[in-house]
Structures are given as structure tokens and as C-alpha cells.
Structure 1
Amino acid sequence: MPSKNDNLRKRKLIQENGDKQGIRRKIHEKHNNKANQNAGLVTSFLCLVATVTILIIFFSVYTDSLHPIVDQIATQLGYSEKQYGAIIDAGSTGSRVLAFEFHKAYLDGRLVLDNELFRELKPGLSSLTPDKGAEQITRLLKEAKDFIPAEYRRKTPIALKATAGLRLLGAAKSEAILEKIREVFAQSGFLINDDSVEIMDGTDEGIFSWFTVNYLSNRLTSRNTAAALDLGGGSTQVTYELNENLPSYKEYIHTVPVLNSELNVFTNSYLGLGLMALRHAVITYQKADNQTSFASECINPIIKDKVWTYQNIDYLVSGKENKNQASNPENPEVNFDLCVESVKRQVMPLLKPKPIKLQEHVINAFSYYYDRAIEVGLVDPYLGGENTVADFSKKAREVCATANADQPFMCLDLVYISVLLQDGFGLKPQTNIKLYKKIRGHEVSWALGCFFQNYNILQQKMKRVAGVN
């Protein structure tokens, strides 16, 4: 039989084992509690991430989709507030009035473009006398008055901004034209100020075009805004977002207010690289005093004494014989390589500074880029479209190899565009170029961006006046 001591030892061992199991159980429970606590933190974090994601999606939908729904309901209930504006684009080849009808978004007061007017009269102011120029602008103002209801005109800002045509005309002649137009504006009944009629700086022209493209494309709040290439008659502008701290580019980078933020934008206006100015430079290369008759290597040999008017001077333009084509006289064509060299000779010295990192952006090109593209069938004249830089080069070769008296300058114009894009701007042959006259039914023009600047200045003045009172 076990002794009393043996029983005592046995009970003690059982108690010690129970204590050890209790300790182990407590340690296990502690680990479980900690694991549960960690799991709870992970769950909370995942819930937070999910909530933030849902909010981001919600506000994205809110911005893009809810505004129109709320505005439509507000309009039906009679709460819509209208705003009108007008800009006259006095370009080198013609003057255009663009008038805009907006409504103010019910939720945040932003301006939403609803309708617009576009009318054009030719030639440009630089080809007219001061009196004739004033008559042309009076006709365009009449178009704006027909579009804008009478009760809104007194609070509708309007401006005329002249571009490269008047810049190239000279200060005395251009100012005489503008002074006559100021007299017309003073009697217009629209809202004007001291800067309503002026020659626009090329920097503003580029920034306004860029703003218009991105406003109409809904890209102003995007991480990848689009680049804007504008090819006019006297100059060309290149504008795109660029966040680079380069001393040599400092004067070309501007901070642009966009909605509730600011963006750094590169822009430059290359005076003399507009389509007509470049055409004139190539055709009249090494001209003598008072010479008005020229033969150009970029014009097909079938063209003889074609009259071309530039800045009120009539030129007689003919094509040069292609000495490399003596074996095929029945199909005269331009010496393509010689033409390319002639164009490069005029372009490259004026292209300073060259754009950098333009390739990284979606690229929208308009004005003469678009016009020439539709005239040779590269894009649909109503819908626009996309082409590569190589498409322009290929089409230039085709046109230069075809005798066409109906388009005597098309070879030169297309060679210039392809040289400008590839050699000048450094774009690769496979780079896509978006070519549109309209985006979402609205004209692609610097005029819309210009209106927004005028409107913002007006709003700031009104706030200052209200603060004084």
C-alpha cells in the first residue's frame, strides 16, 4: 500500500501539473487575444482603405456625372444662371468671332459651355485699311449681338485680340487699325475695358489654346494634360505641361491657374514659322529688292506665274525644273529632297528653344495642321481623326510627286508640317497626332481660353469693388 507520504507527493504533482496547464492556457489565451487584436486592426485598416476607395470613386462620379444631372433638374425648376462672352480672333488670314453661352453649375458655380457661335470673314486685318478693318469688325459684332440676348450684353465681356498678322505689320500701321476698332467697340454695348482691343502676346496665345484643348477634353484635372500645337499663318505655338527646373527654359515655363490648382506649362510662339510666313520665306529666299517673281524648288514645274498675295504684295510663283527627271518629262514632280533641305534652312534657325519631353503627352494639333490634313484626305473633314508624323511625311512625298495645278502650294505646306513635327519638335515618326476642328461639338481655338481669362479678371474686379463698398 502507498504510504501517506506517497499520496502527498502524488497530490502535489497533480496540483503542479494543473498549475502548469493553467499557465499554458493563460499564455495561449493571451496569444489568442493579441492575434484577435491584430486581426481587428487589419480589418479596420482594410475597411478604411475600402472607404477611401469608395469615396474616391464617388467623387469621381460626382464630378463627371452628377453635375449634369443636378444642373438639368435646376434648369427645369428655373434656377439656371446664364453667362455669355465673346472674343474676336484677328488672325493673319481672317477675323473670326466666337461667342459663348454658358450656364453656371448649380453645385459649385463653375461655367459649363452650352452653345457657341463661330463666324469668319476674310482677309485678315493686316490686309485692310483702318476704315475697312473697322467695317469688318462691325459686321462680326453684329453676329455676336444676334447670338447674345440684349438683356445680357451690358454684362458680357468682349475682346479683340490680334495675332501674328498685325505683329508683323509694324507698330504704326497696326495701331492705326486698332484705334479705329476701339471706336467701334466703345459703341458696341458690350462690357469692355482698356485692354479689350490689343495685339496678343504669343505666350498668351499658346496658353489659351492649351487651356481650350484641355477644358474641352475634360483634362484640366487629369494627371496627363494634353499638349496643344497651333499652326497659324504668321506664327506657331507649342504648349504643354512641363515640370522641369532648367535654367535655359526658365522664361518659357509659366504657372497657369487651373480650377483650384496651378500647373507649370511650357509655351513658346515661334514668330515667322506660321504656314504663310514660312511659305513666303522659302519662295522668296535670296530675293533681290523689289523682286516679285520667283521660281521655287518646292513648287511643281507645271505651275507658271501663279499669283499669290502675302501682306498686300502680289507675287508670281513658278516651279523649278527637276533636273533629276529628264527621263520622264510627261510626269513633272518636285525634287523632294531638295525641297526638304530648303524648308529646313528656314525652319531650324528660328526654332529656339526646341521643345523637350513633348513626346510624353497626348498631342492635339489644329488650325493649319487640321486644314491641310483634311484637304489631302488624311482625316475626315467632319469628324477629324488621328495620324502619325510618318503619315504627314508619306503624304508629302505623294503630293510632291503629283502634278496638281489646283493645289500649287500643297507640296511645300506638307513638307513644312512634316519637317516641323519631326526635325523641329523632335517627334518620332510613329507619334500619334490628334487632329480636330471641334471637341465635343465646340471649336478648338485659343478664344475660349482667352474668354476665361477675361471673365476671371472681371470677377476679381467685382469682388474688389464689393469689398470697397
Structure 2
Amino acid sequence: MDEPKAAKQKKTWHKKVIIFLGALFVLGVISLVAIAVVQNKPLPKNIKYGIVLDAGSSHTSVYIYEWPAEKENDTGVVQQINECKVEGNGISSYGHEPLKAGLSLQKCMNKARQVIPEKQQRETPVYLGATAGMRLLRLTNATMAEEVLSSVENTLRSFPFDFQGARIITGQEEGAYGWITINYLLGNFIQDSGWFKYIPNFKPTETSGALDLGGASTQITFESKREIESQENSLHFRLYGKSYDIYTHSFLCYGKDQALRLQIANSIKDATDSILLDPCFNSGYRRNASTNDLYSSPCISKLRIPTAPSTLDIRGTGNYQLCKRNVQAIFNRTHCTYSHCSFNGVFQPSLDGTFGAFSAYYFVMNFLNLTNEQMSLDKVKETVERHCSRPWDEVKKDFPKIKEKYLSEYCFSGTYILNLLEYGYGFSSENWNDIRFLGKIKDSDAGWTLGYMLNLTNMIPAELPYSPPLSHAGYTGLMVFFSILLVCIILTCWLSFRKPKCLHKGII
């Protein structure tokens, strides 16, 4: 009678073991899946943001950048994610109404608040760099310039960002940061980015030179293989683990707007009864200009003629050759105390390598359809001359959507660019095709602001990237452990339900 009782006890014991093993198996499967899911889930992006305001002579633009917190060779991999053009003129135009300078920035800064995540706004640095327009205002009236900067600072401090300062950057800085931008976009710092492939037929050298043309100044910057005889034109950078020594110079008063003023001021002596026949405007074009306004610029004030009429009636004649002569007259190439100069006695080593030309260079040449393919210098000259010879009514009819001020000045601007590059800097038909006119590459504007951010990130500490909860060894160990545990449970259950024949030998 004891045998059935023993069998019953054994069956009960087996049932408890099976339940225990089943529960352990389920727990093991859950643990295995949970570890795999948690360890392999997508890691959050550790992104930093920065804002740079380019306060130029004609307008202000707000650029928003982002980069991974874990930097590459101590320099952030920065890319532009948004741009906003401030309505109205540049901040230097508000010298008599400085409060309006700050107010003009509000709309674009509110847009920046929408782009950058709220939780990261407090740590997002904001910089404003004012260029040649403010340099000229400071020369004219330093108090006005300070009041404008103060107004801008007050506005930027009112936003929930980490305001780092507003200042007038030097021409050398503007040129150098533009050089950094161009070489970053062309892939010369991180070659596997391959961004230069977006520019047809462009094979960059080790680095590419930068040509920047604004409204009030122009910059030339490149890495020279020759000695830089003027130390004020020499700069040193360290980016992506490599050092660079470059030549740079900024010509204040030689941006296209101030150059046009220079050309007109030089021609006033030829005016008859307040009428100035100007070959740099299309025939049939007319505009009135105040000589008081013309001479108000420190670039032009030294050219004031006491007998100049108060108002000029400027009438275009559309003569490229005469315009070229007038433009060349604003460059002084009569003296040079160095082995080689560009113009106005400024040292410049011989041109080396390829060059990227941007800002007004691009906008003007793009209008003239001279940016899309390689063209000889003679062909480019023919195109500009053909545009200058067109009647103004015909030009207006073909381009009704372009503002008259800009449209009327393309003849002068095209002529000026050709002479600045050839007569001023020394480009020729042999190396003309080393120049590429650049607007945007991979959604980033060519300009000094991106280079400014790249250089700025050298001062921002790198952070460790987000990593999975477990180390690779810990993750592998746990996965192996739970896998073996599951195999053991399955094997134990199999042995419990199906005993091998060897275990039946002792049974009669």
C-alpha cells in the first residue's frame, strides 16, 4: 500500500520542479529580450547648437549651426541648419536711430527659438560679428557705432540664449574665417566628407584660397608656398589636428558699393551742369545722387571737390571699355616696397592653387550666367561687355522681378569684379579657371560665419558620446549566461519527461 503513495509523492515533486523550471525559463527569456532591447535601442543624439549673426554693410543674416558634442580632432563638425535674413539694411545704417538696430533682429531671433530645442537654448552660444559697414561707421562716428552695438547687445541678451558678445571683427578675421569655410565645404579638412564633389570639374589642392566681396570691403586669403613678407598679413590656424599658415588681406572701401562710390567721385570732375555721363550704367538709365551723401563715406571724403554740385543727374552710357578705364583708376599700382604687391602698396605673394569666390562675387557672376561652367577670361569679358551695351529698357523688361538698384549696377559690378581679380590681384587667362564662384554647397552658405563657428568650437570642451548601458564585455557575458541557462532548463525538462533507456535497465 506504500508504493502508490510514494509514486504520488514523486509525481507531486516532479510537478513542482516542472513549474519552477517553467517559471525560470520564462524569466530567462524575458531577461534575454530585455537586455537585447535596452542595449541596442537607438542612442539619443548629443547635438550642440550655435548662432552667428553676420552684420554686413547692406544687410544682416542669422545663421544657425549644429555639431555633435563629441568633436573630431578637437574641432566640431559644424553644419548650417537654418538661415534668416533680417529685414531692412545693415545695422550700420541705424547710426542716427540706434534703437532700431536691435529691434530689427527680433524677428529672426524669434525664428531661432523655434528651431533650437527649448531645453538647449540656455547653452546655445550667440555671437554677432559686424563687418566693414560698422568699421566705416566707427571711423566716421565712434559714438554712433558704440550705441548701435549697445542696442544690438540689449536685444540679443533678451533672448534665452548664451549671448557671448557683439563686436566689429577685423578685415583679417573676416578673410581668414571665409578661408576656413571654403576649405571645410570643399572637404579639405575632412576629406572623406567629399563635399567638393558637388562642384563640377573642381579638384581642390591641399587647401583652396578664398575671395570674399562685400558691399564695403573685399578679402583675399590663401595658403602661400612663399615667404609672407608682411607680418600683418600672416595668420596661423589649427583645425582638425593640423596647423595652417595663411596670407590674408582685407581692402576696406573696395567692396562693390564703396567701389561704385569711388568711381563716381573720381568722375565728378567730368560732370557738366550737374549731369554725369557714366559708362558703368546701361544706356537710358538715370538716377539722382546727393553729393553730400556720396562724400559722407570716409572712403570718399578725401575726394571731395568744393565746386561739386549738390545733386548729380547720373545718366548711363553703357560703355564697357570706358567703364573699365574708370574702374582701374581707383586702384593705385604706382608704388610697392615689397617684392610683389597687389595694389595700394599692399604686399601679396604670387597666387597659388585654386580659389573659391563667394558673396557678391557669386551673386553678380551668377546673374551674368558665368558660374555654371568653365569659361575663358576673354569669354567672360565678352559677356560682361555685352550686358553693359544693352539698353536699360531692355534689361528691365527681361528682369522685372529684380530691384532696380541691384539690376542697374550689374554692369559696374561685373566690370569691377573682372578688374579687381585681373588688374588688382593678378589673375590672368592662364589661371582664371582656378577660380570657382560659390554660393551654397550642401545647404551651407559660403561666407565667414561657418568658419567662425568652426574656429569657435576649438574652445568648446568635447563631451563623451552617449554609450549603451552595458559594456561590450558585460553585454556579451549576460547574453551567454542567459542563453546557457535556457539551454540547461530545456535539457532538464527533456530528461524529466523522456528518460534515456540506460535509466530503465534496473527496472524489473
**Normalised TM-score (structure 2):** 0.66
Q: Find the counterpart in structure 1 of residue 173 from structure 2.
A: 204
Q: Find the counterpart in structure 2 of residue 319 from structure 1.
A: 315
| Bigger RCO of structures 1 and 2 (CA < 8 A, at least 6 apart) | 2
Measured after TM superposition, the shift of residue 428 of structure 1 is 1.2
Query: 1:370 aligned to 2:341?
Result: no
The secondary structure found in structure 2 opposite 1:111 is: coil
Classify 1:261/1:112 alpha carbon distance in 2 versus 1 (closer, same or farther; 3 Å): closer
Measured after TM superposition, the shift of residue 458 of structure 1 is 4.2
Q: Could you tell me whether the CA contact under 8 Å between 1:157 and 1:454 is conserved in 2?
A: no
Q: 2:121 aligns with which of 137, 142, 153?
A: 153
Q: Could you tell me whether the CA contact under 8 Å between 1:283 and 1:295 is conserved in 2?
A: no
| Stretch of structure 1 that moved more, 335-344 or 227-236 | 335-344
Q: Find the counterpart in structure 2 of residue 251 from structure 1.
A: 232
Measured after TM superposition, the shift of residue 163 of structure 1 is 0.5
Once the two structures are superposed, residues 321-368 of structure 1 have per-residue CA deviations (whole angstroms, 9 ceiling, x without a partner) of: xxxxxxxxxxxx53332211110111335544253332x311110111
Q: Find the counterpart in structure 2 of residue 123 from structure 1.
A: 89
Aligned-pair identity (%): 24
Q: Find the counterpart in structure 2 of residue 262 from structure 1.
A: 243
Q: Find the counterpart in structure 2 of residue 24 from structure 1.
A: none
Q: Find the counterpart in structure 2 of residue 455 from structure 1.
A: 457
Q: How many angstroms apart in 2 are the aligned matches of 1:292 and 1:260?
A: 60
Measured after TM superposition, the shift of residue 270 of structure 1 is 0.5
| Stretch of structure 1 that moved more, 236-245 or 299-308 | 299-308
Count of aligned pairs between the two proteins: 365
Q: 1:356 aligns with which of 334, 349, 353?
A: 349
**Normalised TM-score (structure 1):** 0.71
Q: Find the counterpart in structure 1 of residue 328 from structure 2.
A: 344
Query: 1:86 aligned to 2:51?
Result: yes
Q: 1:436 aligns with which of 418, 422, 438?
A: 438
Measured after TM superposition, the shift of residue 221 of structure 1 is 6.0
Question: How do 1:378-393 residues align onto structure 2 when only pairs under 5 Å count?
Answer: 378-379=370-371, 386-393=374-381
Q: How many angstroms apart in 2 are the aligned matches of 1:393 and 1:271?
A: 26
5+ residue gaps, structure 2: 1-38, 192-204, 298-309, 334-342, 397-406, 463-508
Query: 1:140 aligned to 2:108?
Result: yes
The secondary structure found in structure 2 opposite 1:198 is: strand
Measured after TM superposition, the shift of residue 76 of structure 1 is 6.9
Q: Could you tell me whether the CA contact under 8 Å between 1:348 and 1:424 is conserved in 2?
A: no
Q: Find the counterpart in structure 2 of residue 225 from structure 1.
A: 207
Q: 1:182 aligns with which of 142, 153, 162?
A: 153
Classify 1:352/1:89 alpha carbon distance in 2 versus 1 (closer, same or farther; 3 Å): farther
5+ residue gaps, structure 1: 1-73, 321-332, 461-469
Q: Find the counterpart in structure 1 of residue 424 from structure 2.
A: 424
Q: Find the counterpart in structure 2 of residue 411 from structure 1.
A: 411
Once the two structures are superposed, residues 253-301 of structure 1 have per-residue CA deviations (whole angstroms, 9 ceiling, x without a partner) of: 111112212111001001111010101111222658xx99744232234
Measured after TM superposition, the shift of residue 391 of structure 1 is 4.0
Measured after TM superposition, the shift of residue 92 of structure 1 is 0.6
Q: Find the counterpart in structure 1 of residue 196 from structure 2.
A: none
- The one-letter code matched in structure 2 to 1:191 is D
| Stretch of structure 1 that moved more, 446-455 or 297-306 | 297-306
Question: How do 1:228-307 residues align onto structure 2 when only pairs under 5 Å count?
Answer: 228-247=210-229, 249-285=230-266, 287=268, 294-305=276-287
Q: Could you tell me whether the CA contact under 8 Å between 1:103 and 1:114 is conserved in 2?
A: no
Query: 1:394 aligned to 2:382?
Result: yes
Q: How many angstroms apart in 2 are the aligned matches of 1:173 and 1:296?
A: 34
Question: How do 1:18-57 residues align onto structure 2 when only pairs under 5 Å count?
Answer: none
Q: 1:97 aligns with which of 62, 74, 82?
A: 62
Measured after TM superposition, the shift of residue 412 of structure 1 is 1.2
Measured after TM superposition, the shift of residue 305 of structure 1 is 2.7
Q: How many angstroms apart in 2 are the aligned matches of 1:410 and 1:91?
A: 20
Q: How many angstroms apart in 2 are the aligned matches of 1:346 and 1:200?
A: 25
Q: How many angstroms apart in 2 are the aligned matches of 1:148 and 1:315?
A: 49
Q: Could you tell me whether the CA contact under 8 Å between 1:91 and 1:165 is conserved in 2?
A: yes
Measured after TM superposition, the shift of residue 411 of structure 1 is 1.6
Measured after TM superposition, the shift of residue 154 of structure 1 is 1.4
Q: Could you tell me whether the CA contact under 8 Å between 1:229 and 1:238 is conserved in 2?
A: yes
Measured after TM superposition, the shift of residue 306 of structure 1 is 5.2
Measured after TM superposition, the shift of residue 456 of structure 1 is 2.5
Q: Could you tell me whether the CA contact under 8 Å between 2:228 and 2:234 is conserved in 1?
A: no
Measured after TM superposition, the shift of residue 454 of structure 1 is 2.9
Q: How many angstroms apart in 2 are the aligned matches of 1:370 and 1:297?
A: 23
Classify 1:426/1:306 alpha carbon distance in 2 versus 1 (closer, same or farther; 3 Å): same
Q: Could you tell me whether the CA contact under 8 Å between 1:213 and 1:228 is conserved in 2?
A: yes
The secondary structure found in structure 1 opposite 2:148 is: helix
Q: How many angstroms apart in 1 are the aligned matches of 2:460 and 2:76?
A: 14
Q: How many angstroms apart in 2 are the aligned matches of 1:419 and 1:451?
A: 32
The secondary structure found in structure 2 opposite 1:285 is: helix
Q: How many angstroms apart in 2 are the aligned matches of 1:286 and 1:307?
A: 13
The secondary structure found in structure 1 opposite 2:226 is: coil
- The one-letter code matched in structure 2 to 1:200 is I
Classify 1:315/1:181 alpha carbon distance in 2 versus 1 (closer, same or farther; 3 Å): farther
Measured after TM superposition, the shift of residue 95 of structure 1 is 0.4
Measured after TM superposition, the shift of residue 388 of structure 1 is 4.7
Classify 1:78/1:316 alpha carbon distance in 2 versus 1 (closer, same or farther; 3 Å): farther
Classify 1:395/1:356 alpha carbon distance in 2 versus 1 (closer, same or farther; 3 Å): farther
Measured after TM superposition, the shift of residue 393 of structure 1 is 1.9
Q: Find the counterpart in structure 2 of residue 467 from structure 1.
A: none
Measured after TM superposition, the shift of residue 246 of structure 1 is 4.2
Measured after TM superposition, the shift of residue 183 of structure 1 is 1.1
Q: Could you tell me whether the CA contact under 8 Å between 1:301 and 1:318 is conserved in 2?
A: no
The secondary structure found in structure 2 opposite 1:192 is: strand
Measured after TM superposition, the shift of residue 173 of structure 1 is 1.6
Q: How many angstroms apart in 1 are the aligned matches of 2:454 and 2:52?
A: 10
